[in-house]
Amino acid sequence: MISFIIFAVVALALALYFEVKRLRVQRTVVASKSFNCVFCKHVVGINLKNPDCKSRQDIINCCHKNEEMVLIPEPGNYHEPGAVKVCRRNGEQIGYLSTDPDRMAHDLESGWTFRTTVDDIYPFEEDSRKHGVRLRLEVLTRGDRLKTSRKVRIE
């Protein structure tokens, strides 16, 4: 009789273990379907003036956390072909995306869409009157980047 009870308890424990494991896998699959890639990048060129002679630091001082920004590829940029401008929705430029802008420009031209918001506006240690900007980029849709790169290789 005792061995039957032990067998029943072990069987129940195993059934419970596998049910919990199944539910965890199910929850992971559901979460991954709604998950979008999110990453942060710093804005560079923030101490320069725009072509209309407006200071980018003055524009940054008017920005606020979670403000939506617009990314604009700038293929004709003299200093860095493939640069990506970072602008407020009203068109005022606050700078350029840092690190590997060429890939971002290509992704934007290939149809990728991003929700770009201000993640943080922080004072510089050496001069607290000047501020840096960190952006939060969320991939909303992915373009046909892989298809176009394969076509280039085939041709």
Q: Are 58 and 40 in contact (CB under 8 A)?
A: no
Whether 146 has a pLDDT exceeding 80, the answer reads: no
Whether 88 has a pLDDT exceeding 90, the answer reads: yes
Q: Which residues of 51-76 are buried (b: 16+ CB within 10 A; e: fewer)?
A: eeeeebbebbeebeeeeebebebbee
Q: Is 53 left (phi over 0), alpha (psi -120 to 50) or beta?
A: left
Closest by CA to 71, choosing from 88, 58, 54, is 88
Whole-structure pTM value:
0.67
Residue 26 has a pLDDT of 47
Whether 12 has a pLDDT exceeding 90, the answer reads: no
Whether 86 has a pLDDT exceeding 50, the answer reads: yes
Query: Looking at per-residue confidence, does 22 or 33 come out higher?
Result: 22
Name the CA radius of gyration of the chain, rounded: 25
- Assign 110 a pLDDT band (cuts: 50, 70, 90): confident
**Please, how many CA atoms are within 13 Å of residue 104, restricted to the half-sphere of its CB?**
25
